[in-house]
Structure 1
Amino acid sequence: MTPRATRRTVLLTSGAAAALAAGCGSGGGGDTAAGTAGRELTSTADVPVGGGTILKEEKVVVTQPEEGEFKAFSAICTHQNCLVSEVTDGTIDCPCHGSRFRITDGSVAHGPATRPLPEERITVEGNSVRRA
C-alpha cells in the first residue's frame, strides 16, 4: 500500500525543494545588486539635470535633481511591480496606473502607489555612475 500525501508533507516537500533551488545558481545569491557592485550603470552626461534616466535592464532609475547630485531608485513601481516608463517634470512615472515618484527621494507624488521607490546605492567616479 502506498502512503497518501497529506497537505503537510506536500508543503514540507515543496519548501525543501524551494530551499534547495534557492541555494543553487551562480554566486549562490541569484540576481542581486551585491553581485553587480562597482559595475557602471551610466554616464553622468546621460542623466539630465532636473530629470533622470531609466536603465531597463538593471531595473534602476538614476536621477540628477540638482547639478552634480545623483540619486538612484528601483525602477519597479511599488503599486503593482510595473517598470516605470519615463522621468518628466521632476517625477518618475509609471505607465500602468499613473503613479508618480519624486526624483529627489523616490517618495510618492501621486498614487495609487503608497510606498516610495526603494533607493539604490550608487557612487559617482568622474563621469561614471556605478553601483555601490
Structure 2
Amino acid sequence: MTSAQFQPAAGPARRTVVAAAGAAGLAVALTACGGSDDDASGGKAADSSGSGGGESSGAGTALAATADIPEGGGKVFPDQKVVVTQPAAGEFKAFSATCTHQGCAVKSVSGGLINCPCHNSSFSITDGSVQSGPAPKPLPAVRITVSGDSVRLA
C-alpha cells in the first residue's frame, strides 16, 4: 500500500489549504498594488514619478474627468481605495487611499495634503510622502492613465 491510501478523507489536505491561502494572498497583493508593473495598454501611465497626459487605449477603470481633480488638490475614490491628485496643472498622480499607519481610509485632500482622520497623518499630494502624524511610510503609488479628459486606473 502507498502512503496516499492512509490519508484521512475528512477535509482538504494541508498542502491544498496552504496553496489556496497563498493564492488568495497573492490576489489581494496584486489588487492592492494595482496589478502589474507593466502598462499593457501601450499608453503612458502616470505614477509617482511621472505626469499624466499620455494616450491610452481606454483600458482600466474610469475614475474621473481631469476637470474633477482640482489643481493643487485631489479627490479620494473610496470604492477603488485610491486618491488622485493634481500637484501642478496637467500633472496627475495616484496613491493608495489606505493609510500606512493602521490601515484607515484617507478621507480628504486639502492644502496640498492627503489627510487621514484616524490619527491625523498627512501625506504629500506630489509623492505620497509622510508630512505629519504617526504614519511610518509614504502612501504607495497607484498606476493611472490619462487620456484626453479621462483619468483611469491602469
Please list every run of 5 or more consecutive structure 2 residues that lacks an aligned counterpart in the other structure.
1-12, 37-58
Q: TM-score, normalised by structure 1?
A: 0.78
Alignment correspondent of 1:72? 94
Instruction: Output aligned runs, 1:117-132, within 5 Å.
Output: 117-132=139-154
Aligned length: 116
Mapped partners of 1:18, 1:46: distance in 2? 44
SS at match of 2:17: helix
Mapped partners of 1:79, 1:44: distance in 2? 29
Q: AA paired with 2:20?
A: L
RMSD of aligned Cα (Å): 2.3
Please list every run of 5 or more consecutive structure 1 residues that lacks an aligned counterpart in the other structure.
1-11
Deviations 1:58-85 (A, max 9, x none): 0000000011000000000000000001
Q: Percent identity?
A: 55
Higher RCO (C-alpha 8 Å, min separation 6): 2
Instruction: Output aligned runs, 1:1-132, within 5 Å.
Output: 13=14, 16-20=16-20, 23=23, 29=27, 32=31, 33-34=34-35, 38-132=60-154
Mapped partners of 2:16, 2:23: distance in 1? 11
Q: Which runs of 4+ in 1 moved over 4 A?
A: 21-24
Mapped partners of 2:18, 2:85: distance in 1? 37
SS at match of 2:100: coil
Q: TM-score, normalised by structure 2?
A: 0.68
